[in-house]
């Protein structure tokens, strides 16, 4: 496999709010410009696989009595009514039957996912106006897990933390399935704002200091470190909550003797913050590592390609996971 084309663009404030399209005309402009630039780099298709924002989507693992696959669809609808806090007629619903567990042969584990039609339909309409042809849409966490986990499997529960500019997603994955997802507001923009206020500098200067200095106490007299610690402590509080929460709610885990989170994997455009891995590992007393979004694409030990350095590729984790789905 090889990378044919890639690109990215900044979306102006107010165009999207918590994943919902608020200014379609401006989003169309951004997409057209990005597509034109990608076309100049070798883009040859209009068919796409897109991701839906985590904030408004739902993923659950449910257990069903052993039954034939023809009966599963109806059973899923019954379970979805009990697990999804929206009327079924107002959502798009999908499901996947997981491989049967030898430890529990009398049950089926099924992943159900749902997204409101009021969220999905504006995206479909936007893609149509741009000239794109979506062949699938999936929740962002599904693409992230596919990109970061070898063969999309994990023998022990892992917590993936996808650090974005405007939100941070928590994804707990075990076996062959996502077990839990949530989104918190502590994000890259919080870190930038903290630096800007602490040092009385512009947002652009604060962003540059965040990228170059990060949590290095020896630089800038430790002032960047001091500015970053409070918002990172807020992030730590969220992480600790879910590290404690999951083992107590892992009744759907059949093949894992210890349901505690074994390690944390960082991804997203903010994950390469200098010193973040060691800071989190020291505070949480748990292994923390940067995810490798090329793990299912490049042959080890390769972790980057000349056109896209590894640290930058962390910001393309979702896109790479979506591309891998296109190969299924």
For residue 272, give the 3-state DSSP assignment. coil
Residue 313 has pLDDT above 70, yes or no: yes
User: Which pLDDT tens digit goes with each residue over 216-240?
Assistant: 999 999 999 999 999 999 999 999 9
Question: What per-residue confidence (pLDDT) applies to 254?
Answer: 57
Q: Would you give the DSSP letter of residue 302?
A: -
Lowest mean pLDDT among 103-117, 183-197, 312-326: 103-117
Question: What per-residue confidence (pLDDT) applies to 253?
Answer: 64
Structural contact between residues 56 and 20, judged by C-beta atoms closer than 8 angstroms: yes
Residue 134 has pLDDT above 80, yes or no: yes
Averaged over 181-196, what is the pLDDT? Answer: 96
The pLDDT confidence band at residue 83, using thresholds 50, 70 and 90, is confident
For residue 100, give the 3-state DSSP assignment. coil
Question: What per-residue confidence (pLDDT) applies to 315?
Answer: 95
Structural contact between residues 98 and 175, judged by C-beta atoms closer than 8 angstroms: yes
Structural contact between residues 98 and 111, judged by C-beta atoms closer than 8 angstroms: yes
Question: What per-residue confidence (pLDDT) applies to 95?
Answer: 93
User: Which pLDDT tens digit goes with each residue over 51-61?
Assistant: 999 888 999 88
In the chain, where the domains are located: 16-325
pTM: 0.93
* Count of beta carbons in the 10 Å neighbourhood of residue 125: 13
List Cα–Cα distances, 91 to 80, 172, 211, 232, 306, in angstroms: 11, 24, 40, 35, 42
Lowest mean pLDDT among 100-109, 184-193, 272-281: 100-109
> Across all residues in the chain, what is the average pLDDT?
92
Structural contact between residues 98 and 9, judged by C-beta atoms closer than 8 angstroms: no
The pLDDT confidence band at residue 251, using thresholds 50, 70 and 90, is low
Q: What is the CATH number of domain 16-325?
A: 3.30.420.40
Question: What per-residue confidence (pLDDT) applies to 41?
Answer: 80
Residue labelled with tokens 């610690």: 229
Residue 248 has pLDDT above 90, yes or no: no
């Amino acid at each position: 496999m090889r990378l044919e084309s890639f690109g990215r663009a900044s979306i102006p404030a107010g165009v999207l709010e918590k994943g919902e399209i608020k200014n379609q005309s401006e989003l169309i402009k951004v997409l057209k410009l990005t597509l034109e630039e990608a076309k100049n780099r070798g883009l040859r298709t209009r068919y796409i696989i897109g991701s839906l924002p985590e904030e408004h989507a739902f993923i659950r693992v449910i257990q069903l009595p052993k039954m034939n696959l023809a009966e599963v669809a109806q059973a899923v609808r019954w379970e979805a009514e009990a697990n999804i806090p929206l009327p079924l007629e107002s959502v798009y619903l999908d499901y996947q039957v997981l491989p049967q567990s030898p430890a529990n042969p009398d049950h089926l584990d099924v992943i159900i996912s749902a997204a409101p039609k009021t969220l999905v339909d504006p995206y479909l309409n936007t893609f149509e106006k741009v000239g794109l042809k979506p062949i699938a849409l999936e929740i962002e966490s599904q693409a992230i897990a596919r990109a970061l986990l070898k063969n999309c499997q994990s023998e022990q529960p892992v917590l993936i933390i996808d650090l974005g500019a405007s939100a941070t997603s928590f994804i707990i994955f075990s076996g062959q399935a996502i077990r839990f997802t949530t989104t918190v507001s502590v994000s890259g923009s919080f870190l930038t704002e903290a630096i800007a206020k602490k040092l009385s500098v512009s947002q652009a200067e604060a962003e540059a200091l965040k990228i170059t200095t990060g949590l290095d106490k020896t630089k800038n007299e430790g002032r960047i470190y001091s500015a970053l610690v409070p918002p990172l402590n807020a992030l730590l509080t969220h992480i600790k909550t879910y590290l404690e929460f999951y083992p107590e709610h892992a009744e759907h885990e059949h093949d894992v003797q210890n349901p505690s989170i074994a390690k944390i994997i960082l991804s997203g455009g903010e994950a390469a913050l200098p010193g973040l891995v060691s800071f989190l590992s020291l505070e949480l007393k748990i292994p923390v590592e940067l995810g490798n979004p090329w793990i299912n694409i490049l042959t080890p030990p390769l972790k980057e390609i000349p056109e896209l350095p590894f640290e930058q590729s962390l910001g393309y984790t979702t896109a790479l996971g979506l591309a891998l789905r296109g190969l299924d």
